[in-house]
Amino acid sequence: MVAVVEPDQWHDNAPNISPKELFSLHQTVQAHITTINRKEFTCSVSLRDDAVKKPYKRFDPEEQLKYDEWDSRAEDEDKKKLAQQNPETGNRATRVIKHALFQPFNSVQAEQYLGSQNRGDAVIRPSSKGTDHLAVTWKVADGIFQHIDVLELDKENEFSLGKILRIGSSAQYQYVDLDQLIAEHVRPMAKMVEQMVNSDKFHNKSKAQLEEWLNTYTAANPKRSMYQFCLNREKPGYFHLIFKAGHKAKSQDWPVKVTPGVGGSGAFELRGQGYPSMQGLSNGFKILFGNIQGTNHALGGGR
């Protein structure tokens, strides 16, 4: 730090005495710091006897800092707040799982890693919920990823893998190891997504674009009803089932969810009912809609 001595601070009799009469080159002298400029890393000091002999003054927290002075107390408080907001940045050891799909990623890194990979590819990673949880991220479609929370039960210690891996609050989706979880939970859902996107009822459009398409279709075919599907980009693992029962009817949107199904067979879930295929889903929708309307509508040409 560079120390600056003002002309009237060399000696009690300054400026009548020249500094060369008092000090020699490279001489060490005692000084009293009067101000500090932390931005420029300089300080002003006094060599006057009355200043040097002045007793040390403790910091007064009530004393207002000057505009160019650094508030160390505020800095310490900010550091404490940041530490509280980011508990994972402490001294906790990073967890490692022996599995080919495990990566020490957070959710953002997992999505970046899977971005260029195929639909259905997955990453097993640590969970921010603690060492009794894991997270599985899998690619639903380009730019769409589902993050699955896995609760570990029957653990031998903090860092060992649980002997029971449960997804959801009930025991419906419960697995004995990660291979079974991937094979019977993630892969079946990816298979159902693949069925959906390869269907002639699927449109790779946004919800708004698909509703506009339906309006155009029913305007050209005013006596016909039509239904189509598109990805729900706000809820990964879901699709929009959008339909219009004629030109004058309002378009409606029913959510369709992909699930692992029974025994890992995969299924589409619509209004609490499971369907093992696109054909089953289409037929089930027509029955549900017909029951609600109290009549049979020929939706989408019978497919």
**Domain residue spans of the chain:** 2-85, 107-190, 199-302
43-89 tens-digit pLDDT: 888 888 888 877 665 555 555 555 445 566 766 676 565 555 444 43
136, β-bridge pairs: 124, 148
The answer on pLDDT for 201 being more than 60 is: yes
141-180 tens-digit pLDDT: 999 999 999 999 999 988 899 999 999 987 889 999 999 9
* pLDDT given at position 58: 57
Segment 256-260 shows an average pLDDT of: 97
260 near 184, Cβ under 8 Å? yes
The model carries a pTM of: 0.66
Among residues 66, 62, 57, 61, the alpha carbon closest in space to that of 39 is found at 66
* pLDDT given at position 162: 94
Q: Which CATH number does the domain 107-190 belong to among 3.90.550.10, 3.40.228.10, 3.30.505.10, 3.40.50.970?
A: 3.30.505.10
What sections of the chain are H helices per DSSP?
19-22, 49-52, 72-85, 107-114, 178-181, 187-197, 207-220, 278-293
How far apart (Å, rounded) are the C-alpha atoms in residues 80 and 4?
35
Task: Tell me phi and psi for residue 76, to 5 degrees.
Answer: -65, -40
Longest dimension (CA), the chain: 112
User: Hey, what CATH topology would domain 2-85 get?
Assistant: OB fold (Dihydrolipoamide Acetyltransferase, E2P) (2.40.50)
* pLDDT given at position 303: 47
* pLDDT given at position 87: 45
Pairwise pLDDT comparison (57 vs 207), residue with the higher score: 207
Using pLDDT thresholds of 50, 70 and 90, give the confidence band for residue 220.
very high
Both tokens assigned to 275: 């369907």
Question: Which has the minimum average pLDDT: 42-51, 84-93, 198-207, 237-246?
Answer: 84-93
* pLDDT given at position 85: 47
In this structure, the strands spanning 164-167 and 173-175 are antiparallel
* pLDDT given at position 31: 87
Pairwise pLDDT comparison (24 vs 198), residue with the higher score: 198
Q: Which CATH number does the domain 199-302 belong to among 3.30.505.10, 2.40.30.10, 3.40.50.12160, 3.90.870.30?
A: 3.30.505.10
CA dihedral 139, 143, 149, 152 (to 10 degrees): 40
Segment 232-250 shows an average pLDDT of: 93
How far apart (Å, rounded) are the C-alpha atoms in residues 243 and 301?
13
The answer on pLDDT for 280 being more than 90 is: yes
* pLDDT given at position 217: 94
